[in-house]
Amino acid sequence: MDTAPPSPHRTDPLTELDLAQLRERTSIKWRAHPPDVLPLWVAEMDVPLAPAVADALHQAISRGDTGYPSGTAYAEALQQFAADRWGWDGLAVERTAIVPDVMMGIVEVLRLITDPGDTVVVCPPVYTPFYAFVTHADRRILEAPLGADGRIDLPTLRETFARARTSTDRPVFLMSNPHNPTGVVHTRDELEQVASLARENGVRVVSDEIHAPLVLPGATFTPYLSVAGAEDAFALTSASKAFNLAGLKAALVIAGERAAGDLARMPEEVGHGPSHLGVIAHSVAFRDGRAWLDELIMGLDHNRTLLAALLAEHLPTVRHLRPEGTYLAWLDCSGLGLDDEPEAPGDELAVVTDLAGPARHFLEKARVALSSGHVFGTGGASHVRLNFATTPQILTEAITRMGRSVTT
């Protein structure tokens, strides 16, 4: 599998901006909280744009190229990236569609393959918008909780699929691959077993693979559509997480061979939502941003190790799963005894995020913003999700503050 050649002057993108520069940003990560708060919550990275992406955007703006998106450059770039990076040659450009973002694409796929009231299985704790977007689309959530190791519990999934099949004719399994928030990267064997269970129970699979480029050393990403039995499934991805492009809307739906007919029924107007600049940025990221991505992964691996050391020193009773992918850490704070703290009404951040227990404590006492675990579904209570895609200095200061807040 291809790894881009190292830059002659390797630079960790996570070390290029200091706190003062980051506070000049106007995105939600940096504007949702007062300036004394260190924001390690929402999935934005504290990095500059990959140079290839920045150059492409500057060139597009300089020539006034800000019209409607066109063509298949995005899918072609992802096709080559998948072949080189993951050894997957099965991505067919003709079985793709551009959508505004991954979650909007998931909703559109659900509209193609389910009816209102149908059941969608998820494996909590899992990405919070799965709940909101699925229920807002008038589908019902059925949980198949992860195992204690943060991985898919296959016996539980089998039982849940069977239950889903009794309540609807068109059940779906909405999978996070790699898994958010635990950082687990599903193995090929696990995915093959998921495909087998889905086939046995008449369940269609929709795989959210937005974090696929962010697999860290020691793990290997397997595209769900590359496993036997996934021919009627869908996958969705973008360069959004790996290249910090959340504000440049564009994602891809990829259909398996036997799902092509479903994809062909997607309304034409869905493709009006993506940004032309977004399509340019994502295409260039997958095509020309690989050396930068390698440097980013090097920095994330360093921060992953640093986080473990900081937790051991400052918060030794907090347990965490060593993430295999993403830049998210899932921290079990049950040993801190913070869950029974009262939640103050009228909190200044109530409109931004629903906080409870440890997340509320760390915001109020340590001035560190984390994602509250309870909103990730069953198994999330007493946990927080921490985004470690920041500078080592900010990460060190945040964990030091958190440790101080539970000892003073």
pLDDT band at 11; cut points 50, 70, 90: confident
Residue 352, pLDDT above cutoff 70: no
Residue recorded with tokens 């990730």: 376
Q: At what angle do helices 276-288 and 73-86 cross, to 10 degrees?
A: 30
User: Any idea how long the chain is?
Assistant: 408
Residue 345, pLDDT above cutoff 50: no
Rounded distance between C-alpha atoms, residue 311 and residue 316, angstroms? 6
Rounded distance between C-alpha atoms, residue 309 and residue 111, angstroms? 45
Residue 348, pLDDT above cutoff 60: no
The strand pair at 328-332 and 383-387 is best described as antiparallel
Rounded distance between C-alpha atoms, residue 199 and residue 180, angstroms? 24
Q: For 226-244, b where at least 16 C-beta lie within 10 A, e where not — what string? A: bbebbbbbbbbbbbbbbbb
CB proximity list for 369: less than 8 A, separation 6 or greater:
32, 33, 37, 38, 39, 40, 41, 349, 353, 362, 363
Rounded distance between C-alpha atoms, residue 313 and residue 289, angstroms? 36
Amino acid 342: pLDDT: 39
Structure tokens at 151: 């991985």
Model confidence over 248-278: pLDDT tens digits?
Answer: 999 999 999 999 999 999 999 998 999 999 9
Model confidence over 138-172: pLDDT tens digits?
Answer: 999 999 999 999 999 999 999 999 999 998 999 99
- The answer to whether 180 touches 127, Cβ cutoff 8 Å, is yes
Amino acid 76: pLDDT: 98
- The answer to whether 284 touches 52, Cβ cutoff 8 Å, is yes
% of the chain surpassing 90 pLDDT: 91
Return the sign of the alpha-carbon dihedral for residues 164, 165, 168, 169.
positive
pLDDT band at 355; cut points 50, 70, 90: confident
Rounded distance between C-alpha atoms, residue 382 and residue 336, angstroms? 9
What are 383's strand-pairing partners? 332
Alpha carbon distances (Å) from 22 to 48, 52, 391: 10, 21, 10
Structure tokens at 234: 């869908």
User: For the residues 82-88, what does the mean pLDDT come to?
Assistant: 98
Residue 217, pLDDT above cutoff 70: yes
CB proximity list for 259: less than 8 A, separation 6 or greater:
95, 113, 204, 231, 232, 233, 234
Residue recorded with tokens 């696929």: 212
Amino acid 10: pLDDT: 65
Structure tokens at 249: 């809307």
Structure tokens at 260: 């092509």
Burial class for 358, CB neighbours closer than 10 Å (0-12, 13-18, 19+): buried
Amino acid 5: pLDDT: 42
Rounded distance between C-alpha atoms, residue 269 and residue 278, angstroms? 17
Residue 343, pLDDT above cutoff 60: no
Residue 360, pLDDT above cutoff 80: yes
The strand pair at 371-372 and 368-369 is best described as unpaired
Model confidence over 272-325: pLDDT tens digits?
Answer: 999 999 999 999 999 999 999 999 999 999 999 999 999 999 999 999 989 999
% of the chain surpassing 70 pLDDT: 94
Helix (H, G, I), strand (E, B) or coil at 126: coil
Residue 210, pLDDT above cutoff 90: yes
Rounded distance between C-alpha atoms, residue 393 and residue 389, angstroms? 11
- The answer to whether 167 touches 195, Cβ cutoff 8 Å, is no
Closest by CA to 273, choosing from 97, 399, 135, is 97
Structure tokens at 31: 């504007």
Closest by CA to 121, choosing from 101, 96, 139, is 139
Amino acid 6: pLDDT: 42
pLDDT band at 9; cut points 50, 70, 90: low
Instruction: Please give the sequence-ordered ranges of beta strands (E in DSSP) within 258-408, or none if there are none.
Output: 319-320, 328-332, 368-369, 371-372, 383-387
Q: How far apart are the first and last CA of the chain?
A: 50
Closest by CA to 387, choosing from 181, 233, 223, is 181
DSSP conformational letter for 248: S
Alpha carbon distances (Å) from 262 to 26, 174, 176, 203, 253: 39, 17, 21, 15, 11
